[in-house]
Amino acid sequence: MSPRMLPRRPILPLASLLLAGCAQSQYVPGYAFYPEPAAVQVAHPTSPQNQQVPLTVLATVVGVRNADANAHVPSSVAVHLRFENNGPSRVLFDPRTLELSNGQLRVFPPPQTDPARVLMIAPGQRQEVTAYFPFPPGTAARDWNLNRLRLRWRVDINDYPVLETAYFERGQPREEASYY
């Protein structure tokens, strides 16, 4: 068979696979935090003990995020929170009350949040927030002890401020379950 007769192989699929393998992940490997999620039951301090807890907050440290100029996200620790209003009270959450610190009590700069506005969580409603706690300029994850993290925030239940905290520990990343 002459060279002209050889079948042409499509180069595009091969090039696509190579480029996909070279793309940088959104998250730095090796940073997994537990519990997944931390569940915090938030009660108004003056509520009767037998009353249903009015607010559940689920918090997860998603991981250490690489900077992404296109998405306007800095190199940071990414945290995701879900607020579930289970009671009859009006709940407000201001993302500016979020604070993240490590086990050495080093406090991260204030986070970039999505959404950035104050959330009003009506009875029976759920709302979610993602927070990116940036590393200070000139530092990276390797410069911080990330073995233990403490996340703090404040909610207002019927205009009464309640402070809450969730703790996280760094662990080994779990392998994804395989069903095959």
Q: Give residue 25's pLDDT.
A: 86
Q: Give residue 157's pLDDT.
A: 92
Q: Give residue 50's pLDDT.
A: 52
Contacts 24+ apart (CB under 8 A), 22-31: 24/66, 25/66, 26/65, 26/66, 26/68, 27/62, 27/63, 27/64, 27/65, 27/66, 27/78, 28/63, 28/64, 28/65, 28/66, 28/141, 29/173, 30/173, 31/63, 31/64, 31/141, 31/146, 31/170, 31/173
Q: Which CATH architecture has domain 25-171?
A: Sandwich (2.60)
The pLDDT tens digits of the residues spanning 88-139 come to 889 999 999 999 999 999 999 999 999 999 999 999 999 999 999 999 999 9
Pick out the chain residues at pLDDT < 50: 6, 10-22, 177-180
